[in-house]
Chain A
Amino acid sequence: MPPRPNQCSQLSGDDYAESGRRAPAVQIDDVVVEKGRVRILDGISFTIPAGSITGLLGPSGSGKTTLMRTIVGVQAVRSGTVNVLGRTAGSAALRSSVGYVTQAPSVYGDLTVRENANYFATVLGRGRAEAERAIADVNLTHEADRLVGRMSGGQRSRASLACALLAKPELLVLDEPTVGQDPVLRRELWSQFRALADAGTTVLVSSHVMDEAARCDRLLLVRDGALLAEGTPAALCAAARTNDFEDVFLRLIDAADQKAAA
């Protein structure tokens, strides 16, 4: 039987071990975020190694987006420290070195893809050449003159991604970038994330598609605003004694529940 794509056996932790030599790109320590009376992040701590792809996994409502917003510095934090590329998250100096793609495509629907890319390129002080390259990177060159508002959901989120790629950021934070994309395109996007990471970019991707977890160097499993588990995909598979990521996730959650009940 051919190996299924989301099986752990294909993985190795070598890439991650190599990138561990640089200072971490993100260092989060005991961060608490509250919205009204609801505690979204409950004293979460972890580090993200530079030049790697880190997958952020967790059920919906677990605080993934809030965590990403905290890292890019648009989320008010109640307590704890968030350190990004050696500075406090949200510092003015970070704004040209951190790229953020929100879950809902944040581009102007009444502009074309090219106009959007040129606009964000101008804001970032980049040229049209970078804008064109980013459009090509997400496979939208032929659609560049179409209005974003008239495009499909998948195309729209690619347009949004292009506007972040053109910045050539040191840290790229992507909130579910592959939702609504077909398998071929998903594979292309992931090989692009890999190329970016190989070139030294730190990539943080949230996802709930489990076969994508296998493509990450390192995983953070979040639930109810706390870190449930972290490690390389292989290590998590070993800990959960299974070869299937769907199972890793469920088993780790079940184990945590049993612990809590005991």
Chain B
Amino acid sequence: MLLVVPSSLLTLVYSMFHNQPGRFDHIGLTLLAVFPFLTMFLITSVSMLRERTSGTLERLFTLPIGKLDLIVGYATAFSGAAILQAGIAGLVAYQLLGLDTAGSPALVVIIALSTAILGVACGLLCSAFARTEFQAVQFLPVVVLPQLLLCGLFVPIDGMATWLGHVADVLPLTHAVSALDAVGSSSDPTAAMWQDLGIVLAFAVGALAAGAATLRRRAA
């Protein structure tokens, strides 16, 4: 499901814009960054929460295992799934749906991967503030939806109220989308694109560090 759903949704979106050629190049491209973020956020927050509530996290902490082992292990495992997911979605978008970008598809996959890692990091962090899976899922509208609305998928950021534009500028997903737009419009990677990608990864590292801080061997 993890692998097939994004591709199917992309196909759905492609059909939605059937009579507006050109639009899919923008929206399809943007979704390539959004899906990994969304799915990885959900999967990580729920599975990390299960570690916390089932007692397995506490057990792991009584064993010779480092916090970093745990976080890097989770991030690697889920990023592996994310690479596959982004790869399949990219393949479907480029080969079957005729997605067209000026820049290299490899860059698109790299950016998609960065949003996947961002999703893992945010999910890990949010799992600390939830007690049940039910609460964890509720972080989706809090953390993910605003980013989705403001990232430039629905309306260009230039067209938003000025203050909202500033809000959008500090959200990591906005930078991922802007990096993708850069790949879409210029054949060589631009400096702005690398900067955007750097910002996304910096957010991911920050969230991972904050998430690591919520993992305590000794609980009160």
Contacts and interface: CB of A to CB of B under 8 A. Distances in A.
Given A75-B218, A90-B218, A102 B64 contact: no
A255 interface: no
Interface stretch (B53-61, B107-115, B160-168): B53-61
A163 B59 CA distance: 10
A74 to B, nearest CB: 6
Given A73-B218, A167-B63, 10 more contacts: A73-B62, A73-B217, A74-B62, A74-B218, A74-B219, A75-B218, A76-B218, A95-B64, A109-B54, A163-B59
B219 A75 contact: yes
A123 B220 contact: no
B170 to A, nearest CB: 35
Interface string B53-91: 011101111111100000000000000000000000000
Interface string B189-220: 00000000000000000000000000001111
Contacts of B65: 95, 123
A105 B53 CA distance: 11
Given A92-B64, A123-B64, A124-B64, A76 B58 contact: no
Interface in A176-193: none
Given A75-B218, A90-B217, A100 B62 contact: yes
10 contacts: A35-B220, A74-B219, A76-B219, A92-B64, A95-B64, A96-B63, A100-B62, A104-B54, A108-B56, A120-B59
B54 A95 contact: no
A98 interface: yes
Interface in A96-124: 96, 98-100, 102, 104-109, 120, 123-124
Interface in A136-190: 163, 167
Contact of A95 (B56, B63, B218, B220): B63
B220 A74 contact: no
Chain B: interface size category: 10 to 19
Which are the 9 A-B pairs with shortest beta-carbon distances?
A: A106-B55, A95-B64, A106-B59, A76-B218, A102-B55, A100-B62, A96-B64, A106-B56, A76-B220
A50 interface: no
A195 to B, nearest CB: 23
A163 B63 CA distance: 11
Contacts of A102: 55, 58-59
A102 B62 CA distance: 11
Contacts of B64: 92, 95-96, 123-125
Nearest to B53: A104
A99 B61 CA distance: 11
A74 B55 contact: no
Contacts of A35: 220
B62 A98 contact: yes
B55 A104 contact: yes
Nearest to A33: B220
Contacts of A76: 218-220
Contacts of B61: 74
B183 to A, nearest CB: 38
B72 to A, nearest CB: 14
A106 B218 contact: no
